[in-house]
Structure 1
Amino acid sequence: MRETPTSGRRGCLPLCSCESIMAAFKGIWTKPFWRAVSGEFLATLIFVLLSLGSTINWASGTENPPPADLVLISLCFGLSIATMVQCFSHISGGHINPAVTAAMVVTQKLSLAKGLFYIVAQCLGAIVGAGVLLLVTPSAVRGGLGITAVNSRISVGHALVVELLITFELIFTIFATCDPKRSDLKGSAGLAIGIAVVIGHLFAIPYTGASMNPARSFGPAVVTWSWESHWVYWVGPILGGILAAALYEYLYCPDPELKRRCKEMFIKDASGKYKEVECAGNHHVGEADDIVIKPGSSSDAEKDEKKESFQDSSGDGLSSV
């Protein structure tokens, strides 16, 4: 049956809506995108499995079990995250933490669509990692399986502040050590990030268990189904991460081009009106799916991702995974 002009107009609305959605999520139809998402899943799985394993007290069944070794736990968390960042930074950026991903989205270094997929992958990886640890650990020594809990001597509000501060310290370290604008960077960024995690744990384990990472708390909470004050381990780290990223990126070390454009926003023309600032071409306001957490300029992996994305958009159609 032939389509009338009226029916054609009616059918345009769903089509336009579909095209808008496809445009917003066009980056998810590429192999590099899913490679990055799967990298976040695997990195978080390994990190949670190894790190939570350090909290298992194998002497808990004895008559006088020793207390948890805070130094051992702190070093295991820090060295694990440093290793995973070193292994996966060129694949996905090595976030391994929803607070890091949220900070990257807020500072426009990562698209919202990619950020959402990253957080889902991180949470799923944490659940699988905690589940594997549950399966391989004898029930007599599992204890709380490394769940994060607020110390009964402090209030939930104080716990929120502690999580905010230690995550602030971590995210600020990430932005400072992975800033491509700096020419004085030497050594390993992954190791610096790992040390920041160690410091946060050494300080905050007695207070809150030192999450610094919503996915790290989410995994064992799902496996053990323990949700007491769990919201603290999402709100605190994400707020701390966003605050640290915003202060570093827009106050302490702003991009020169962004700073110039911000100044131009407050300059009036001859007619007394404020000038209209053109934002096109500024990577801070455009798509930034290729920006990853590591020092230096774009890597070969980033260039390949850009090239493949361009080929997908200019060829016969979008590539399938």
Structure 2
Amino acid sequence: MPRRYAFGRADEATHPDSVKATLSEFLSTFIFVFAGEGSVLALDKMYTDRAFGASGLVVTALAHALSFFAAVASSMNVSGGHVNPAITFAALVGGRVSVLRAVYYWIAQLLGAVVASLLLRLSTDGMRPVGFSVAGGIGELHGLLMEIILTFGLVYTVYATAIDPKRGSMGTIAPLAIAFIVGANVLVGGPFEGASMNPARAFGPALVGWRWRNHWIYWVGPFVGAALSALIYEFGIIQSEAPIHTHHQPLAPEDY
């Protein structure tokens, strides 16, 4: 009977598939963060008082949905299209990736977000990345709860369309479904706490823009929401034996 959890084989660190998957996560996260944070800076450029209103919220949600769709679709057949440390954590909790592969992905995702934020600041002539913070009048615990719920919905969608071995033809629309829930969640949580759902998306702009207010929420919330979703879907819906760790699976890459 296969083991559900694995640390990862010794040769995995330098295996070509690991290198390709890690590079893919770096590039896809770069694409997503550059467009997502870039849309916020573009609105800042157009409206100096930051009074974006409903139209600005829609623009931001659309930019995040479109860029996440492109990022997931372009990396899904190489790395599984995580593009998010919380999704990688969910895969780890569910036994779908090894610890070593998860660490590689996390490093790649964070570096991709940082490089995107640096180049965004350079290409906008020094505009400081905004990142995320809890809106005025909203408590930190409320913001945390919102991040947990939003990330839960995102990871549930990922599991249902990209990871579930019985997903069938749903796998072909996985990037679109995942992008839809990202855009919808931004519309819901954006005015309250930004709706990050992605620690890398929060970390890159926070580091480059040096804005750390409420930053812990954008790590704890996504990781808790992702873990809850993975546990419920993996053990409550899939209810299968431990996944067999193969050399590579396009939609849910697992380790050796």
* TM-score, L = length of structure 1: 0.71
Cα distance 1:293–1:208, how it changes in 2: closer, same or farther (>3 A)?
farther
Compute the displacement of 1:234 (Å). 0.4
Alignment-mate amino acid for residue 70 of structure 2: T
Task: Return closer, same or farther for 1:195/1:132 CA change in 2, 3 Å cut-off.
Answer: same
Larger radius of gyration: 1
CA distance, structure 2, for counterparts of residue 81 and residue 207 of structure 1: 21
1:157 and 2:141 matched: yes
Match of 1:245 among 212, 230, 245: 230
Q: What residue identity is the alignment partner of 1:86?
A: A
Q: Which among 119, 124, 148 is matched to residue 137 of structure 1?
A: 124
The AA in structure 2 aligned to 1:106 is V
Q: Find the counterpart in structure 2 of residue 283 from structure 1.
A: 243
Structure 2: stretches of 5+ with no match in the other structure: 1-6
**Residue 124 of structure 1 pairs with residue 111 of structure 2:** yes
Residue of structure 2 in register with 1:166 after alignment? 150
1:23 positional shift: 7.2
Q: What do the CA deviations read for 1:190-209 (whole angstroms, capped 9, x no partner)?
A: 00000010011000001111
Equivalences for 1:15-164 in 2 at 5 Å? 24-56=9-41, 57-61=44-48, 66-67=51-52, 69-139=56-126, 142=127, 145-164=129-148
TM-score after normalising by structure 2: 0.88
Report percent identity of matched pairs: 36
Query: In 2 relative to 1, CA 65–167 (structure 1 residues): closer, same or farther, beyond 3 Å?
Result: closer
**Helix, strand or coil for the counterpart of 1:147?**
coil
**Moved beyond 6 Å, runs of 4+:** none
1:176 and 2:154 aligned? no
1:282-301 residue pairs with structure 2 within 5 A? 282-283=242-243, 287=245, 290-293=248-251
Letter in 1 for 2:150: I
Q: Which residue identity does 2:160 align to in structure 1?
A: A
User: 1:155/1:289 Cα in 2 relative to 1: closer, same or farther (>3 Å)?
Assistant: farther
| More RCO (CA 8 Å, sep 6+) | 2
**C-alpha separation in 1, matches of 2:27 and 2:182:** 19
Equivalent residues, number: 245
Structure (1/2) with the larger helix percentage: 2
Q: Equivalent residues in 2 for 1:248-287 (5 A)?
A: 248-255=233-240, 258=241, 282-283=242-243, 287=245
- Return the offset for 1:252: 2.1
Relative to structure 1, is the Cα distance of residues 174 and 25 closer, same or farther in structure 2, using a 3 angstrom cutoff?
A: same
Letter in 1 for 2:243: H
CA RMSD, Structure 1 to Structure 2 (Å): 2.3
Shift of 1:117: 1.0
- Cα drift, residue 32 of structure 1: 1.1
Could you tell me whether the CA contact under 8 Å between 1:107 and 1:249 is conserved in 2?
Answer: yes
1:148-227 equivalences under 5 Å are 148-178=132-162, 179-183=164-168, 185=170, 188-227=173-212
- Cα shift at 1:24: 4.3
Q: In 1, Cα distance between the equivalents of 2:47 and 2:168?
A: 50
Gaps of 5+ in 1: 1-21, 259-281, 295-301, 310-321
**Letter in structure 1 aligned against 2:120:** L
Tell me the SS of whatever aligns to 2:232.
helix
- 1:79-103 per-residue CA deviation (whole Å, 9 max, x = no partner) reads 1111111111011111010000000
- Closer, same or farther: CA 92–171 of 1 in aligned 2, 3 Å: same
